[in-house]
Structure 1
Amino acid sequence: MLQIENLHAFYGKSHVLHGVNFDVRPGEIVALLGRNGSGRSTMAKAIMGLVDCQGSMRWKDQELVGRKAYEIAHMGLGYVPESRDVFPKLTVHQNLLLGQKGSGKGSRWSFDDMYAMFPRLKEREHTEAGVLSGGEQQMLTLCRTLMGDPDLVIIDEPTEGLAPKIVELVGQYLTKLKERGISVLLIEQKLTIALEISDRTLVMGHGNIVFQGTPATLRADGSIRKEWLEV
């Protein structure tokens, strides 16, 4: 579905990604792990056309490198940034409406789906997004992305700063995406949620992939965790 080969990414003259190779298959959750500064967020931005890249990123056999971010989004990729980026002066419902592509007809997701998944958003339906709590904003950003009916969701640090109960809810949400045939690239620092819900794990260090394997393999490999993940 998504195939990344020999990918290099740059911020100006700063070379951040160094020949990255991995793939994301249909209907699976892939966790991309690593310490801060390892290149994980840059990887997400590279896929979405937000940084300068060299190499190849193929989505359903179409090359992404060189395309604009809005073109990539309309090809069926959704992106939930770490910064959440809600529209603060618009209501919850208006934020969700902006996530739709076209009329929204034929989408796998409806407003009712979003409100059923996160009842708190239904309670805050007519509230400005800027006054929501951090957890509520995270829910809203996730749901707004889904309203665009993506086939792959790239989600950057979804549990950052959230209470344990909300973290558990996010994990359930991502599992529901998989159940509906949507692939997920989960960028996380917290090993617990990543190992619980992912099908495969990748570990990034110094701008490259230093480990690929199952959650069970990563759990068993103390040397990899110590060198690349643990503080």
Structure 2
Amino acid sequence: MLKIDQLHAWYGKSHVLHGVAMQVGTGEIVALLGRNGSGRSTTAKAIMGLVEAQGSLLWQGRQLLGKKTFEIAQSGLGYVPESRDIFPTLTVAQNLWLGQKHSRQAGRWSQDDMYRLFPQLQARQHTEAGVLSGGEQQMLTLCRTLMGDPDLIIIDEPTEGLAPRLVEGVGQFLKQLKARGIAVLLIEQKLTIALDVSDRCYVMGHGSVVFEGTPEDLRQADAIRREWLEV
């Protein structure tokens, strides 16, 4: 579905990614792990055309490199950035409407689906998004991206700053995505939730992939966890 090979990326003259290779299959949850500064978020931005990059980014056999971000999104990729980019002066319902895929064919998700997933959003559907709590804004960002009906969604640090009960809700949300056949590239700091929901995982360090395997493989790779993940 998504196949990345020899991916390099830069911020100005700073060379951040060094030959990253990974892939995400149909309906698969893949966790991308690593410490802050390891290159995980840059990988997501490179896929979405937000940073200068070279190499190969094949999406369903088509090259993404060189395409504009809106073209990449229209091809079936969704992106939930760590910054929770909502429209603060618009209501929850208006934010969801803006994310909706407008085509003759109905998407897999409706606003009612979003409200069933996160009842808090339904209760605040007429509230301006800027006054929502951090957790509610994260829910809204996830849901607005889903309204675009992506086949693969890249989610950057969805549990950052959330209360434990909301973290559990995000885990259930990710499993529901998989149940509907949506692939997920999950960038996450919390190792427990990442290993619980993912089919495979990659660990990054210094802009390169230093480990690839199943969650069970990583649980048994003590040296990898100590060197690249644990504080």
> TM-score, normalised on structure 2?
0.99
After superposition, give the CA deviation of every residue in 1:134-176 in whole Å (9 maximum; x if it has no partner): 0000000000000000000000000000000000000000100
> Gaps spanning 5+ residues in structure 1: where?
none
The residue aligned with 1:121 is 121
Distance 2:101 2:142 in 1: 15
The residue aligned with 1:86 is 86
The residue aligned with 1:196 is 196
After superposition, give the CA deviation of every residue in 1:41-85 in whole Å (9 maximum; x if it has no partner): 000000000000100000001100010000000000000000001
Partner AA of 2:37 in structure 1? G
Which contiguous aligned blocks of 4+ residues in structure 1 show a shift greater than 3 angstroms?
none
Partner AA of 1:134 in structure 2? G
Residue-pair matches, total: 231
Shift of 1:106: 1.3
The residue aligned with 2:38 is 38
CA contact (8 A) 1:104 1:147 kept: no
The residue aligned with 1:222 is 222
Distance 2:228 2:62 in 1: 33
Percent identity for Structure 1 against Structure 2: 73
Shift of 1:103: 4.7
Distance 1:167 1:105 in 2: 33
Question: Do structure 1's residue 168 and structure 2's residue 168 form an aligned pair?
Answer: yes
Distance 1:103 1:169 in 2: 30
Query: Structure 1 residues 134 and 9, CA, compared in 2 at 3 Å: closer, same or farther?
Result: same
The residue aligned with 2:155 is 155
Provide the aligned C-alpha RMSD in A: 0.8
The residue aligned with 1:59 is 59
Shift of 1:198: 0.2
The residue aligned with 2:48 is 48
Shift of 1:91: 0.1
> Gaps spanning 5+ residues in structure 2: where?
none
Distance 2:26 2:103 in 1: 26
Partner AA of 1:229 in structure 2? L
Q: How does 1:174-213 map to 2 (within 5 A)?
A: 174-213=174-213
Distance 1:73 1:21 in 2: 21
> TM-score, normalised on structure 1?
0.99
After superposition, give the CA deviation of every residue in 1:15-39 in whole Å (9 maximum; x if it has no partner): 0000001100000000000000000
